[in-house]
Amino acid sequence: MEKKQGKSRKGEVKRSSDSRKREAKRSSDSPKGDVAIRLNRYIANSGVCSRREADELIKKGLISVNGKQVTDLGVKVSLNDNVTYMGKKLQPGKKVYILLNKPKGYVTTVKDPHAEHTVLDLIEGATDERVYPVGRLDKSTTGVLLLTNDGDLAGRLTHPRYGIKKVYHVFLDHEVIKNDLEKIISGVELDDGLVSADAASYPDPEDKTQVGIEIHSGQNRVVRRIFEKLGYDVRKLDRVFFAGLTKKNLPRGTWRHLSPREVNMLKRGMVN
Whether 11 is covered by a domain: the verdict is: no
CATH number of the domain residue 198 falls in: 3.30.70.1560
Verify that 137 and 254 share a domain, yes or no: yes
Verify that 131 and 233 share a domain, yes or no: no
pTM of the shown model: 0.72
Q: For residue 92, what pLDDT is reported?
A: 79
240, 162 Cβ separation under 8 angstroms: no
Q: For residue 21, what pLDDT is reported?
A: 43
Separation CA 151–CA 45 (nearest Å):
6
CATH number of the domain residue 54 falls in: 3.10.290.10
Verify that 176 and 65 share a domain, yes or no: no
- Number of domains the chain is built from: 3
**Residue range 27-51, pLDDT digits in tens:** 334 444 457 889 998 988 887 787 8
Phi, psi of 177 (to 5 degrees): -75, 155
Verify that 223 and 258 share a domain, yes or no: no
From 62, 89, 116, give the residue that closes a domain.
89
Q: For residue 51, what pLDDT is reported?
A: 83
Residue-range definition of the domain harbouring residue 125? 97-160+246-268
Separation CA 117–CA 4 (nearest Å):
73
Whether 69 is covered by a domain: the verdict is: yes
Verify that 155 and 178 share a domain, yes or no: no
Verify that 173 and 233 share a domain, yes or no: yes
CATH number of the domain residue 136 falls in: 3.30.70.580
Verify that 233 and 120 share a domain, yes or no: no
Whether 18 is covered by a domain: the verdict is: no
Verify that 150 and 251 share a domain, yes or no: yes
Task: Give the residue ranges of DSSP H helices in 84-177.
Answer: 119-122, 151-158
Verify that 225 and 256 share a domain, yes or no: no
180 is catalytic: no
Q: For residue 152, what pLDDT is reported?
A: 82
- Ranges of the chain whose pLDDT falls below 70: 1-34, 111-115, 270-272
- Residue of 43, 263, 55 lying closest to 159 (CA atoms): 55
Q: For residue 272, what pLDDT is reported?
A: 46
Q: Which of 29, 112, 138, 173 is catalytic?
A: 138
Q: For residue 87, what pLDDT is reported?
A: 86
